Amino acid sequence: EVVMTQSPATLSLSPGERATLSCRASQSVNRDVAWYQQRPGQAPRLLFYGASTRASGIPARFSGSGSGTEFTLTISSLQSEDFAVYYCQQYTYWHTFGQGTKLEVK
Amino acid sequence: QLHLQESGPGLVKPSETLSLTCRVSGGSITSSNYYWGWIRQPPGKGLEWIGSTTMSYSGGPYYNPSLKSRATVSEDTSKNQFSLKLTSVTAADTAVYYCAASSRGGWEFDYWGQGTLVTASS
Protein backbone atom coordinates (compact mmCIF):
# COMPACT_ATOMS: atom_id res chain seq x y z
CA GLU A 1 0.00 0.00 0.00
CA VAL A 2 1.22 3.49 -0.84
CA VAL A 3 1.16 5.67 2.27
CA MET A 4 0.56 9.38 1.79
CA THR A 5 1.88 11.54 4.64
CA GLN A 6 0.75 15.14 4.92
CA SER A 7 2.43 17.90 6.87
CA PRO A 8 1.81 19.80 8.95
CA ALA A 9 -1.24 18.27 10.60
CA THR A 10 -2.47 21.76 11.47
CA LEU A 11 -1.45 25.07 9.92
CA SER A 12 -2.44 28.31 11.66
CA LEU A 13 -2.33 31.38 9.43
CA SER A 14 -4.08 34.71 8.96
CA PRO A 15 -6.15 35.86 5.98
CA GLY A 16 -3.89 37.26 3.27
CA GLU A 17 -0.96 35.02 4.19
CA ARG A 18 0.54 32.33 2.00
CA ALA A 19 -0.10 28.67 2.83
CA THR A 20 2.15 25.78 1.84
CA LEU A 21 0.89 22.24 2.44
CA SER A 22 3.04 19.17 1.82
CA CYS A 23 2.29 15.59 0.89
CA ARG A 24 4.85 12.78 0.66
CA ALA A 25 4.28 9.38 -0.92
CA SER A 26 5.99 6.25 0.41
CA GLN A 27 7.00 5.35 -3.16
CA SER A 28 6.88 7.12 -6.50
CA VAL A 29 3.40 7.86 -7.78
CA ASN A 30 4.60 9.82 -10.82
CA ARG A 31 2.20 12.79 -11.01
CA ASP A 32 -0.90 10.79 -10.09
CA VAL A 33 -1.89 13.01 -7.20
CA ALA A 34 -5.10 14.88 -6.52
CA TRP A 35 -5.83 17.48 -3.86
CA TYR A 36 -9.21 17.99 -2.18
CA GLN A 37 -10.65 20.66 0.08
CA GLN A 38 -13.22 19.67 2.71
CA ARG A 39 -15.20 22.21 4.65
CA PRO A 40 -17.09 21.16 7.81
CA GLY A 41 -20.18 19.11 7.04
CA GLN A 42 -19.44 19.01 3.31
CA ALA A 43 -18.14 16.45 0.85
CA PRO A 44 -14.59 16.84 -0.42
CA ARG A 45 -14.10 19.14 -3.41
CA LEU A 46 -11.52 18.37 -6.07
CA LEU A 47 -8.88 21.10 -6.40
CA PHE A 48 -6.17 19.49 -8.53
CA TYR A 49 -5.43 16.35 -10.48
CA GLY A 50 -2.24 15.28 -12.19
CA ALA A 51 -0.47 17.09 -9.34
CA SER A 52 -0.83 20.52 -10.90
CA THR A 53 -3.90 20.72 -13.16
CA ARG A 54 -6.51 22.94 -11.57
CA ALA A 55 -10.04 21.50 -11.53
CA SER A 56 -12.94 23.44 -12.96
CA GLY A 57 -13.83 26.57 -11.02
CA ILE A 58 -10.81 26.56 -8.72
CA PRO A 59 -9.38 30.05 -8.16
CA ALA A 60 -5.93 30.93 -9.46
CA ARG A 61 -4.63 31.60 -5.95
CA PHE A 62 -4.44 27.82 -5.59
CA SER A 63 -1.49 26.02 -7.18
CA GLY A 64 -0.21 22.46 -7.10
CA SER A 65 3.23 21.09 -7.82
CA GLY A 66 5.46 18.06 -7.46
CA SER A 67 6.19 14.64 -8.89
CA GLY A 68 7.50 11.30 -7.75
CA THR A 69 7.16 11.34 -3.96
CA GLU A 70 6.96 15.04 -3.02
CA PHE A 71 3.92 17.22 -3.66
CA THR A 72 2.88 20.70 -2.59
CA LEU A 73 -0.37 22.65 -2.48
CA THR A 74 0.07 26.41 -2.23
CA ILE A 75 -2.53 29.07 -1.55
CA SER A 76 -0.99 32.43 -2.41
CA SER A 77 -3.22 34.72 -0.33
CA LEU A 78 -5.65 33.10 2.05
CA GLN A 79 -9.32 34.05 1.88
CA SER A 80 -11.78 33.32 4.67
CA GLU A 81 -13.36 30.47 2.70
CA ASP A 82 -10.01 28.69 2.34
CA PHE A 83 -9.84 27.66 6.00
CA ALA A 84 -10.71 23.98 5.77
CA VAL A 85 -9.12 20.54 5.75
CA TYR A 86 -7.03 19.54 2.72
CA TYR A 87 -6.33 15.99 1.57
CA CYS A 88 -3.94 14.60 -0.99
CA GLN A 89 -4.71 11.37 -2.82
CA GLN A 90 -2.59 9.11 -5.01
CA TYR A 91 -4.13 7.04 -7.78
CA THR A 92 -1.18 5.17 -9.22
CA TYR A 93 -1.79 2.15 -7.02
CA TRP A 94 -5.53 2.15 -6.44
CA HIS A 95 -6.39 5.07 -4.15
CA THR A 96 -4.94 6.18 -0.85
CA PHE A 97 -5.45 9.50 0.90
CA GLY A 98 -3.25 11.45 3.25
CA GLN A 99 -4.48 12.03 6.78
CA GLY A 100 -5.27 15.67 6.04
CA THR A 101 -3.96 19.12 6.94
CA LYS A 102 -6.28 21.40 8.85
CA LEU A 103 -5.84 25.02 7.81
CA GLU A 104 -7.13 27.19 10.63
CA VAL A 105 -7.37 30.89 11.36
CA LYS A 106 -4.57 32.22 13.54
CA GLN B 1 -23.35 17.99 -14.71
CA LEU B 2 -23.44 14.82 -12.66
CA HIS B 3 -25.46 14.57 -9.46
CA LEU B 4 -24.93 11.72 -7.01
CA GLN B 5 -27.23 10.82 -4.11
CA GLU B 6 -26.55 8.14 -1.51
CA SER B 7 -29.35 6.27 0.23
CA GLY B 8 -29.63 3.45 2.72
CA PRO B 9 -30.13 2.64 6.41
CA GLY B 10 -28.42 4.91 8.88
CA LEU B 11 -28.10 2.17 11.49
CA VAL B 12 -26.73 -1.33 11.02
CA LYS B 13 -26.29 -3.96 13.72
CA PRO B 14 -22.82 -5.45 14.27
CA SER B 15 -22.19 -8.61 12.21
CA GLU B 16 -24.89 -7.60 9.70
CA THR B 17 -24.50 -6.24 6.16
CA LEU B 18 -24.36 -2.55 5.27
CA SER B 19 -26.14 -1.77 2.00
CA LEU B 20 -26.02 1.60 0.26
CA THR B 21 -27.11 2.84 -3.14
CA CYS B 22 -25.89 5.78 -5.17
CA ARG B 23 -28.41 7.18 -7.62
CA VAL B 24 -26.82 8.97 -10.56
CA SER B 25 -28.40 11.76 -12.61
CA GLY B 26 -26.94 13.86 -15.39
CA GLY B 27 -24.99 10.95 -16.84
CA SER B 28 -25.21 7.23 -17.53
CA ILE B 29 -23.39 4.69 -15.38
CA THR B 30 -22.89 2.62 -18.53
CA SER B 31 -20.85 5.36 -20.15
CA SER B 32 -17.14 4.65 -20.55
CA ASN B 33 -16.52 8.29 -19.63
CA TYR B 34 -17.03 7.66 -15.93
CA TYR B 35 -15.30 5.90 -13.05
CA TRP B 36 -17.46 5.36 -9.97
CA GLY B 37 -16.38 4.86 -6.39
CA TRP B 38 -17.26 4.55 -2.72
CA ILE B 39 -15.21 6.39 -0.10
CA ARG B 40 -15.84 6.56 3.62
CA GLN B 41 -14.84 8.87 6.47
CA PRO B 42 -15.10 7.83 10.13
CA PRO B 43 -16.22 10.68 12.40
CA GLY B 44 -13.38 13.17 12.85
CA LYS B 45 -11.00 11.15 10.68
CA GLY B 46 -9.69 11.01 7.13
CA LEU B 47 -10.87 9.47 3.87
CA GLU B 48 -10.65 5.80 2.92
CA TRP B 49 -11.35 4.40 -0.54
CA ILE B 50 -13.54 1.31 -0.44
CA GLY B 51 -14.03 0.24 -4.04
CA SER B 52 -14.78 1.32 -7.59
CA THR B 53 -16.35 0.23 -10.84
CA THR B 54 -16.27 1.46 -14.41
CA MET B 55 -17.36 0.44 -17.88
CA SER B 56 -14.05 1.73 -19.25
CA TYR B 57 -11.95 -1.25 -18.27
CA SER B 58 -12.46 -4.94 -17.82
CA GLY B 59 -11.52 -6.81 -14.67
CA GLY B 60 -13.44 -4.72 -12.24
CA PRO B 61 -14.85 -3.91 -9.78
CA TYR B 62 -11.77 -2.89 -7.85
CA TYR B 63 -11.39 -2.94 -4.08
CA ASN B 64 -9.24 -1.64 -1.25
CA PRO B 65 -7.22 -4.74 -0.32
CA SER B 66 -7.99 -4.14 3.36
CA LEU B 67 -11.72 -4.44 2.67
CA LYS B 68 -11.86 -6.67 -0.38
CA SER B 69 -13.17 -9.74 1.40
CA ARG B 70 -16.14 -7.82 2.81
CA ALA B 71 -17.01 -5.26 0.14
CA THR B 72 -19.03 -5.66 -3.05
CA VAL B 73 -19.68 -2.88 -5.56
CA SER B 74 -22.26 -3.49 -8.26
CA GLU B 75 -24.20 -1.59 -10.91
CA ASP B 76 -27.93 -1.50 -11.66
CA THR B 77 -28.07 -0.12 -15.18
CA SER B 78 -31.88 -0.21 -15.30
CA LYS B 79 -32.00 2.29 -12.42
CA ASN B 80 -28.79 4.17 -13.30
CA GLN B 81 -27.31 3.54 -9.90
CA PHE B 82 -24.51 1.63 -8.25
CA SER B 83 -24.38 0.00 -4.85
CA LEU B 84 -22.12 -0.99 -1.98
CA LYS B 85 -22.51 -3.97 0.30
CA LEU B 86 -20.19 -4.40 3.26
CA THR B 87 -20.58 -7.60 5.25
CA SER B 88 -19.86 -8.42 8.90
CA VAL B 89 -19.81 -4.80 10.03
CA THR B 90 -18.30 -3.71 13.33
CA ALA B 91 -18.20 -0.40 15.16
CA ALA B 92 -15.07 0.42 13.12
CA ASP B 93 -17.28 0.65 10.02
CA THR B 94 -19.18 3.61 11.46
CA ALA B 95 -18.55 6.43 9.01
CA VAL B 96 -19.96 8.88 6.52
CA TYR B 97 -20.11 6.98 3.24
CA TYR B 98 -19.69 8.93 0.01
CA CYS B 99 -20.27 7.87 -3.55
CA ALA B 100 -18.14 9.70 -6.05
CA ALA B 101 -17.27 9.83 -9.73
CA SER B 102 -14.53 10.76 -12.10
CA SER B 103 -15.89 12.35 -15.25
CA ARG B 104 -12.63 12.94 -17.11
CA GLY B 105 -11.76 9.32 -17.73
CA GLY B 106 -9.15 9.60 -15.01
CA TRP B 107 -8.90 8.31 -11.48
CA GLU B 108 -9.52 11.40 -9.39
CA PHE B 109 -13.01 12.10 -8.06
CA ASP B 110 -14.52 15.35 -9.31
CA TYR B 111 -18.13 14.64 -8.34
CA TRP B 112 -19.27 13.60 -4.86
CA GLY B 113 -22.56 12.83 -3.20
CA GLN B 114 -23.43 14.65 -0.01
CA GLY B 115 -22.58 11.58 2.06
CA THR B 116 -24.65 9.46 4.42
CA LEU B 117 -23.78 8.56 8.01
CA VAL B 118 -23.97 4.87 8.80
CA THR B 119 -23.63 3.82 12.42
CA ALA B 120 -22.84 0.23 13.34
CA SER B 121 -24.41 -0.33 16.72
CA SER B 122 -26.80 -2.68 18.47
Could you report the per-residue pLDDT of A13-46, keeping only the tens digit for each? Answer: 999 999 999 999 999 999 999 999 999 999 999 9
Contact A100 B46 (CB under 8 A): yes
Binary contact (A97, B47; C-beta < 8 A):
yes
Minimum CA–CA partner of B49 in chain A: A95
Residue of B nearest to A45 (CA): B110
Residue A60 touches partner B, C-beta closer than 8 Å: no
Pairing state between β B95-102 and A96-97 = unpaired
Please answer whether residues A98 and A89 qualify as being in contact, where contact means their C-beta atoms are separated by less than 8 angstroms: yes
**Closest partner residue to B47 among A50, A87, A91, by Cβ?**
A87
Mean pLDDT in order along chain B per 10 residues (122 residues) = 96 97 95 93 96 81 89 94 97 98 90 98 93
Which residue on chain B is closest to A40 by alpha carbon? Answer: B44
In sequence order, the 6+-apart residues with CB closer than 8 A to the CB of B52 are A95, B35, B36, B37, B38, B60, B61, B62, B73
